[in-house]
Structure 1
Amino acid sequence: MANVQQRECVFIPALPGLEPALAEEAEACGWSPQRVDGGVELTGAPGLHQEANLRLRTASRVWLRLGRFPAPDAGALTKGLAALPLGPVWNGRGAPRLSVSLHGARFPGPDAVLAAAARAWGLPSVERAGALDEEAAGDGLTLLVRVEGTTCTVSADTSGEALHRRGYRQEVSRAPLRETLAAGILVLAGYDGVAPLVDPMCGSGTFLIEGAWMSQRRAPGLARAFAFERFPGFDAAAWADRRARAEAEALSAPRAVLRGHDLNAGSLGTARRNARRAGVTLTLERQDVRTLVLPRGLAPGWVVANPPYGKRVGESEDLPGLYRALGRTLRGSFAGWRAALLVPEDPALLRALELPEARSLAVRNGGLRCRLLLMSLP
């Protein structure tokens, strides 16, 4: 069995479409990511899983590799699970929950994996973890058991709550945008953290807050807790040093101008409170995207928007008309800017924007198929 004592290996998933942004972030941190299905793998010194949780803006969570072994049958699976080095992550009390992923495996199903784990660890039973998209299944240890063909890989969840839970967004607008998706869009758009960033339909302010933290070089995990802090092998002093280094790197204020506009006064109030919790100050004004005018002298930068998709109850406005108005505003007020738009896969709405040719990337927002349009506005 291969395990990592002197070196750590982690698997870091990202939302569909954000894998390139995650790899770019990891490289910027000085790591050498290996692109794999659904994310990246990293290998590094002990504590890599803590650094990844703390610093990566586009990561969904961080899995710490515990071991990989051949498992051609149930007996081999039980033997391999029994030999795992679980001491650093599990104190033997309670029972780990398992997230089971089978790919071309010959086992009967997830129940066989749960039964093998119970036999391996001398437990009455082992529960299957619920969906980890939003948050971890309780406060206990969660293990990912991935069986591909006859090879089993076991990893420990080091994040706990999903990493888009930064801690500042306790309120959302009508169309919430996940923090990791907002950050990933900014990375893919090439946002430099220095030029102005404007969101003409800002909602609860997620784009702007993520942009502000990028501009400040503030690590996204500074204001939250992680599952690895409950591990038996957790070194509190080393973690305190990592946090202190990240805090020292952060600037006291963003280097960029950050402006948000929205027609909905309630959304602007939510954005202000979210920004306050995030420790940033945004310029927020109530303006309709149809008539939006930027202040004189504002240098060109990035404009980002997540316009309505028409999928929510009560969204009865003329979406093609709204998209035409958005396109006119972008071509007028934002001439010379770089733009990033997250829009649904709807040819009629794309045509309504009447924008120049754009780089188009497939992404998902809340399970919906979307296109990320990246362009320079003439």
Structure 2
Amino acid sequence: MIQDRDFEIFLATAPGQEDALCGEIRLKGFRQPRAVAGGVVIRGGWPEVYRANLWVRGANRILARIDTFRVIHLAQLDHRARLVPWASVLRPDIPFRVEASCTGSRIYHAGAAAERIENAIRKTVGAPCAPDAALIIRVRIDHDLCTISIDSSGELLHRRGHKQAVNRAPMRETMASLFLLQCGYDGNEPVFDPMCGSGTFVIEAAEIAARLNPGRSRHFAFELLANFDEAAWQKMREARSMRVPAARYYGSDRDAGAIAMSLANAERAGVTDYTHFQQTPISDIRPPCETPGLVIVNPPYGTRIGDKKALLPLYRALGRTLADHFTGWRVGLVTTESHLAHATGLPFLPNTAPIPHGGLRVTLFQTAPLP
């Protein structure tokens, strides 16, 4: 059986999306989610760790916090680290690596702190330390409080396992799912992305509507742990709550290569029956169905001043087409530049704070249903 000891579980997200992630976690039935800087904290045992990796769309990684204690010098850390119940979670035959950070603490050298934890694990469990190990022990010493966590996810969770073809600077699936949630999307209305790229928004919307678990196609680091319960995990994975969506999900792009990528990704995700993609320039887009829903789009941003100026006609054309033809549809637009967003002429509501994305800061601009 899975060990069900109660501990703190941290679900990380991009700064600025903590409240949206907390809302998703609450809807998924996890108890007492609490938004904190950089993510959401819940309490539970290893079953909740498994479920969070399998179910939650907006988290980047999920950390199981296995111990917390105060330390003020390295000798104390060395002693205290050997008291952590490593053998209950780590296997002697599975390599690990330690990543440490120190903030406002008397122990200020992260490398020295990581070395103490590595030594403690080697001496108590015998597991080898390797710089490229898939299993990561994360150590944070913040104002003399040391928190030791196991990264239960491994690869970042936006890597769903069924999306292979991507265009340049793609929107991460985790971030896209939270933007959909912030736009009020609940899986019961059509969604249209007129600059769909590799299809991220459309595929995420279809998966949400079909109640497909985001982690269904991949493996996780917790499968390498000593307490991994394969039978319980397989039962959890095989539990089905899939439904046939009430709406359909549409993408268009002027680039034929983008449409080919979107079609391939939708097929791998198993949502071909609920999605439709076609090659269309912005000036020619029209509502893909009679029932209004959500238009969500992540247009090019431009990385140099000249690029941004050259994008103004694209944003203006997008705004004119939506205003002229998409009565009753809400719009969500993600961009780095407020002046590009406002070049659309769309009646945006007050926007939320910018969010880090690929070295930039993006903002979600939203409208009410267009008149």
Q: Is the 8 A contact 2:195 2:298 kept in 1?
A: yes
TM-score (norm 1): 0.90
The one-letter amino acid paired with 1:20 is D
Residue 115 of structure 1, CA deviation: 2.9
1-structure distance, mates of 2:339, 2:118 = 54
Q: 1:288 aligns with which of 281, 284, 289?
A: 281
Which residue of structure 2 lines up, in the alignment, with residue 64 of structure 1?
64
**C-alpha offsets along residues 126-146 of structure 1, whole Å, 9 cap, x if unaligned?**
9696xxxxxxx433x211101
Q: Which moved more, 1:355-364 or 1:206-215?
A: 355-364
**C-alpha offsets along residues 112-135 of structure 1, whole Å, 9 cap, x if unaligned?**
202322443355999696xxxxxx
CA 1:118/1:293 → structure 2, altered by over 3 Å: closer, same or farther?
closer
1-structure distance, mates of 2:330, 2:119 = 57
2-structure distance, mates of 1:301, 1:321 = 25
1:208 alignment partner, SS class: helix
2:238 alignment partner, SS class: helix
Which residue of structure 2 lines up, in the alignment, with residue 134 of structure 1?
none
**C-alpha offsets along residues 7-26 of structure 1, whole Å, 9 cap, x if unaligned?**
13211100222211210111
The one-letter amino acid paired with 1:17 is G
**C-alpha offsets along residues 209-262 of structure 1, whole Å, 9 cap, x if unaligned?**
0000000011100111111111111111111111122xx1012x4332111111
The answer to whether the aligner puts 1:238 opposite 2:228 as a matched pair is no
TM-score (norm 2): 0.91
Q: 1:359 aligns with which of 350, 356, 365?
A: 350
Which residue of structure 2 lines up, in the alignment, with residue 209 of structure 1?
203
CA 1:143/1:202 → structure 2, altered by over 3 Å: closer, same or farther?
same
Q: Which runs of 5+ in 1 are unaligned?
A: 130-136
Over the aligned positions, Cα root-mean-square deviation in angstroms equals 2.3
Residue 311 of structure 1, CA deviation: 2.4
The answer to whether the aligner puts 1:44 opposite 2:44 as a matched pair is yes
Aligned positions of 1:183-222 closer than 5 A: 183-222=177-216
The one-letter amino acid paired with 1:277 is R
The one-letter amino acid paired with 2:111 is D
CA 1:221/1:347 → structure 2, altered by over 3 Å: closer, same or farther?
closer
Residue 366 of structure 1, CA deviation: 1.3
2:78 alignment partner, SS class: helix
Aligned positions of 1:259-338 closer than 5 A: 259-281=250-272, 282-295=275-288, 298-311=290-303, 318-338=310-330
Q: Is the 8 A contact 2:78 2:117 kept in 1?
A: yes
Residue 159 of structure 1, CA deviation: 0.6
Residue 102 of structure 1, CA deviation: 1.1
Residue 316 of structure 1, CA deviation: 8.6
Residue 315 of structure 1, CA deviation: 6.3
**C-alpha offsets along residues 19-59 of structure 1, whole Å, 9 cap, x if unaligned?**
11210111012222111110011102441110000000000
Aligned positions of 1:113-128 closer than 5 A: 113-122=113-122
Q: Which moved more, 1:276-285 or 1:347-356?
A: 347-356
1-structure distance, mates of 2:279, 2:196 = 10
Aligned positions of 1:93-108 closer than 5 A: 93=93, 96-108=96-108
Residue identity (%): 38
Aligned positions of 1:61-100 closer than 5 A: 61-93=61-93, 96-100=96-100
Q: Which runs of 5+ in 2 are unaligned?
A: none
